[in-house]
Structure formats: structure tokens, C-alpha cells
């Protein structure tokens, strides 16, 4: 048995959802009023019909039950159902106002949607668990081959091997053999069509880097006669990570690789405007407090109030970062050394308090105004330590694509690092920022930083 029952999934979804909707409507009435007989009479029978007609209209318009196996997952199915329910609620609300149906019980309607969501989600999760077990036994499967052998071909095979619940069974690679690949291939191009027909192959994946257009055209031309699907694999992963989009010039698809550049420009413009406004506000309104911190720093230990150190900014450009001095003078005369936290004898008692509350970072708002830094961004490091980090974690280079900041996810979740290993651990947090950066995300990081400062939990 292969997949001849797959066609039943579509009507089964429709039937079960309609049953769930009607059972929920009647059951909710019984829960609310202790009886169900009035639900079969006006005015509730009218509302009952409206519920069903709206759901039917949504199905006809949005076709929510048509999707490939790759999207046949719990989160996708539940999300689609909840979107449909939200639209249903909105239309029922409009209907309620239009007919002035204030005699309908709001409690009954609320319970109806609660029951409907529970039944619908239970059916979807139960169905997925059943399919997973059913397909693991070899039923309801799709047989596929891959044309064009190479890294992309092994990647798609690895994907399906890692997701057996999708029911895709691999039946071999096809390509022109070479001494290096002959042992990996099931056959060559001349044997492909006969193999597909004899073994009832459902899907042929064609890897564009390894197949020419003439071969691809032959495979597509044979698809209708032999009854198999053709799917084209193009390795856009490096581009899509940068936010590429597809445009259509008449029937010709064009991959636009500059959409992320526009998004970055918009984010950076808003971010720079916020940085200037926020930094000016902090410096002007906090001037008396800055003076107080500077005075205490000067009185509690000998040396200058401020400390300047070279750090590496966006694009590998060096700049001087400014802080309130938290260590004794000449603390690094023996060379660059990371702080050992509360065990570090180089830190003054007042400096330790400033580090716990992040007060030593306040002068960096001047760096923000200069454009060296942003309020939010990965912490800048010295070249001496960057070279060591890259040896262990080359992905650190990603952080050099964005402007460094006063505070970051790594500063909140981890804090100051005492050695290269801890710097790499903090890096795991900061690597989340370049892909997720947004104005709202920055506001969240700032709020968390204020919380850390107030609680004195800076490490």
C-alpha cells in the first residue's frame, strides 16, 4: 500500500471540523443552560446556521486543508485553525451587531469557541500521531529519487531521513557516473524513466547545480506520461539568509538579493535616530548623576575619572571606548588581561559596585553620539581577544557586521567574561542579535538592562 488514501485527508478534515463546530455549539448551550432543546428553535437555530455557513465560506475562500506534507505539522495546522477561528469570531461579531442579537448569550458563544478549539486541536494532534505511526510502518509513503549527485542532493536526503513522519522513502541517486560517484548512483539518465515507471516513483528531485537544462526538460516532459512530480532544488541558502525575495517579470521569476539591504537601511535609520535621542536625553538629564559618580570615582582611588581603551567596532574599525575607571591605575601594565570578577584585586571597591550596577558603562553614551556605538548591540572587544575567539568560534565575525552597543543579550544573560571560554559562551547569546534586531527587541533589551542595574546583578 502506498498513498491511495491520502485523498481522504481533505474531506476528513472538513467533516471533522464541521462535526466539532456543531458539537461545540450544542454542547456549549447545554453547559451554559443545562438543556439543549431550545438550541433547535429560533433564535438559536438561526445563529447555528450562520455559524456553519460562515465556516463553509471560509473553507471555500481560503482552502485551508490543502498543503504539502512538509507543512503537515502540529504548529502549522493549529495556527491555520486559530486564524480561521479568529476570522469566524470577527464575522459573528459583525453579524451580532447587524441583527442586534443581544439576546444571544455571550457566555454560550465563548464556550462554543473554547470547545471548538479544544476538539479541533485534539483532532489535529491525534491525526498527526496516527499518521506518524502509520507511516513508520511503511504505509502512506512517497517514493522519491534525486537527480544530480552532490552536496545539495545529500542535504535533501538527510532532511527526509531526519523526518520519517513525512513518509518519504529514498530510492536512489541518478546522474552521469564518474569514478568518484559511480558507487553512490542507482543509475544514469538513460535508465531514469524506466526505473521511475517500474518502481512507481512519486517524486523526482532535480538538483540544479548538477543537471543541465536539456536533461531537466526531458525529465519534465516525461512526468505527465509516467505520472510523477518534478521538484527543482536550487541552493539559495546563502542568499535567503540575507532576506532575498522573488519578483516576477511577466512569467520569469527573478531573485532579488537586495531586499535585506533596504530592510537594514530602514532599521539602521530608525536605530540611529533613537540612539541620538536616547543618548542626549541620558547625558542631559543625568548630568548631575554623572558628576556624582565621577566625584566618587575620583575620591575613592587615585587616578583619572575616565578610562579609554581601544575596541573594534563595525567592519573591524577600531575606536576608543570610554568608561568610568573601575580599576586601579596601571592595572594592565603587564598586558591585556580579562577581569576575574569579584576575585580580581585590580578592581577598586567602588569600581566593583559600578560594575555590578553597570554605572561604569555610562560614559559610553558619548561613544553612541559619536557614532562608534549603539545603545543596543553586541559588546565590542579588543583585537587581542577577538583573534583568540575567532580561533575557537569563527562565527564571531558575524558580530562585526553590526554596530557594537552599550548593552546586549550577552551582557544581560551572562555579563562580564573572565576568560576566552566565557567570552565564547557569551557569544552564543550575542549571535542572536544580528538576525533578530528590531526596535521592539532593542526596547526589551534596554528594559532588561535597567532591571539588572536596579537589582545590582551585573556580573
pLDDT greater at residue 128 or residue 407: 407
Three-class SS state of 386: helix
Q: Between the CA atoms of 8, 13, 16 and 20, what dihedral angle is there, to the nearest 10 degrees?
A: 180
Instruction: Give Cβ neighbours of residue 115 (< 8 Å, ≥ 6 apart).
Output: 20, 23, 24, 27, 28
Could you give the CA distance from residue 196 to residue 219 in angstroms, rounded to a whole number?
Answer: 11
**What percent of the chain clears pLDDT 70, i.e. is strictly above it?**
85
Angle, vertex CA 166, rays to CA 161 and CA 170, nearest 5: 45
0.85 surpassed by pTM: no
Per-residue pLDDT at 192 exceeds 90: no
Per-residue pLDDT at 234 exceeds 80: no
Per-residue pLDDT at 8 exceeds 70: no
Mean of pLDDT values over 409-429: 81
User: What architecture is domain 142-235?
Assistant: 3-Layer(aba) Sandwich (3.40)
The phi and psi torsions of 374 (rounded to 5 degrees) equal -120, 165
Per-residue pLDDT at 440 exceeds 70: yes
Residue 450 confidence class, pLDDT cut points 50, 70, 90: confident
Domain ranges of the chain: 6-136, 142-235, 263-455
Per-residue pLDDT at 27 exceeds 50: yes
Three-class SS state of 146: strand
The 10s digit of each residue's pLDDT in 299-330 is 999 989 998 999 999 888 999 999 999 888 87
Residue 333 confidence class, pLDDT cut points 50, 70, 90: low
pLDDT for the residue numbered 241: 47
pLDDT for the residue numbered 334: 59
Could you give the CA distance from residue 443 to residue 446 in angstroms, rounded to a whole number?
Answer: 5
Which of 144, 155, 153 has the alpha carbon at shortest distance from 175?
Answer: 153
Residue 44 confidence class, pLDDT cut points 50, 70, 90: very high
Q: Please tell me the least confidently modeled range out of 111-120, 148-157, 255-264, 337-346.
A: 255-264
Residue 281 burial by CB count (10 A; 0-12/13-18/19+): exposed, middle or buried? exposed
DSSP 380: P
Distances from the Cα of 409 to the Cαs of 178, 377, 382, 386, in angstroms?
A: 50, 8, 19, 18
Cis upstream peptide for 43 (omega within 30°)? yes
pLDDT greater at residue 157 or residue 338: 157
Q: Please answer whether residues 418 and 412 qualify as being in contact, where contact means their C-beta atoms are separated by less than 8 angstroms.
A: no
The phi and psi torsions of 312 (rounded to 5 degrees) equal -105, 125
The phi and psi torsions of 56 (rounded to 5 degrees) equal -65, -45
Could you give the CA distance from residue 235 to residue 157 in angstroms, rounded to a whole number?
Answer: 14
pLDDT for the residue numbered 113: 95
Per-residue pLDDT at 51 exceeds 90: yes
- Concatenated DSSP letters for 344-378? -TTB-HHHHHHHHHTGGGTTHHHHHHHTS-EEESP
pLDDT for the residue numbered 244: 57
Per-residue pLDDT at 341 exceeds 70: no
Residue 179 confidence class, pLDDT cut points 50, 70, 90: confident
CA 193 to chain centre: 40
CA 279 to chain centre: 30
Distances from the Cα of 36 to the Cαs of 32, 51, 113, 114, in angstroms?
A: 10, 17, 17, 18
Q: Between the CA atoms of 379, 380, 384 and 386, what dihedral angle is there, to the nearest 10 degrees?
A: 70
Amino acid at each position: 500500500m502506498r498513498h491511495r488514501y491520502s485523498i481522504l485527508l481533505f474531506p476528513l478534515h472538513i467533516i471533522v471540523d464541521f462535526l466539532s463546530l456543531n458539537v461545540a455549539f450544542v454542547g456549549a448551550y447545554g453547559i451554559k443552560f443545562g438543556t439543549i432543546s431550545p438550541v433547535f428553535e429560533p433564535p438559536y437555530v438561526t445563529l447555528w446556521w450562520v455559524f456553519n455557513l460562515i465556516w463553509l465560506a471560509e473553507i471555500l475562500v481560503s482552502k485551508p486543508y490543502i498543503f504539502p506534507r512538509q507543512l503537515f505539522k502540529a504548529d502549522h495546522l493549529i495556527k491555520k485553525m486559530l486564524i480561521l477561528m479568529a476570522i469566524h469570531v470577527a464575522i459573528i461579531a459583525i453579524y451580532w451587531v447587524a441583527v442586534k442579537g443581544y439576546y444571544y448569550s455571550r457566555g454560550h458563544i465563548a464556550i462554543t469557541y473554547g470547545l471548538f478549539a479544544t476538539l479541533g486541536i485534539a483532532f489535529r494532534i491525534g491525526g498527526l500521531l496516527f499518521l506518524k505511526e502509520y507511516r513508520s510502518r511503511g504505509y502512506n509513503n512517497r517514493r522519491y529519487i534525486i537527480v544530480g549527485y552532490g552536496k545539495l542532493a545529500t542535504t535533501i536526503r538527510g532532511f527526509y531521513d531526519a523526518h520519517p513522519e513525512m513518509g518519504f522513502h529514498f530510492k536512489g541517486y541518478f546522474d552521469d557516473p564518474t569514478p568518484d560517484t559511480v558507487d553512490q548512483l542507482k543509475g544514469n539518465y538513460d535508465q531514469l524513466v524506466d526505473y521511475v515507471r517500474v518502481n512507481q516513483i512519486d517524486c523526482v528531485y532535480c538538483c540544479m547545480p548538477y543537471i543541465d537544462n536539456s536533461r531537466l526538460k526531458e525529465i519534465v516532459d516525461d512526468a505527465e506520461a509516467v505520472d510523477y512530480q518534478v521538484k527543482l532544488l536550487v541552493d539559495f541558502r546563502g542568499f535567503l539568509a540575507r532576506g532575498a525575495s522573488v519578483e516576477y517579470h511577466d512569467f520569469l521569476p527573478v531573485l532579488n538579493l537586495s531586499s535585506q539591504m533596504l530592510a537594514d537601511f530602514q532599521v539602521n535609520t530608525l536605530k540611529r535616530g533613537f540612539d541620538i535621542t536616547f543618548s542626549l536625553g541620558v547625558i542631559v538629564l543625568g548630568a548631575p548623576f554623572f558628576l556624582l559618580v565621577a566625584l566618587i570615582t575620583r575620591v575613592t582611588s587615585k587616578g583619572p575619572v575616565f578610562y579609554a581603551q581601544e575596541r573594534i567596532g563595525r567592519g573591524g574599525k577600531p575606536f576608543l571606548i570610554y568608561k568610568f575607571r573601575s580599576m586601579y591605575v596601571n592595572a594592565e601594565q603587564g598586558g591585556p588581561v580579562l577581569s576575574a570578577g569579584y576575585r580580581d584585586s585590580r578592581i577598586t571597591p567602588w569600581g566593583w559596585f559600578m560594575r555590578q550596577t553597570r554605572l561604569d558603562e555610562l560614559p559610553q553614551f558619548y561613544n553612541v553620539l559619536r557614532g562608534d556605538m549603539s545603545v543596543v548591540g553586541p559588546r565590542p572587544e579588543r583585537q587581542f581577544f577577538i583573534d583568540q575567539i575567532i580561533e575557537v568560534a569563527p562565527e564571531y565575525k558575524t558580530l562585526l557586521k553590526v554596530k557594537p552597543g552599550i548593552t546586549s543579550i550577552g551582557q544581560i544573560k551572562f555579563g562580564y567574561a573572565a576568560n576566552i571560554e566565557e567570552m565564547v559562551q557569551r557569544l552564543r547569546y550575542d549571535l542572536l542579535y544580528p538576525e533578530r534586531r528590531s526596535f521592539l527587541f532593542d526596547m526589551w533589551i534596554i528594559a532588561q538592562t535597567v532591571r539588572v542595574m536596579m537589582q545590582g546583578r551585573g556580573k
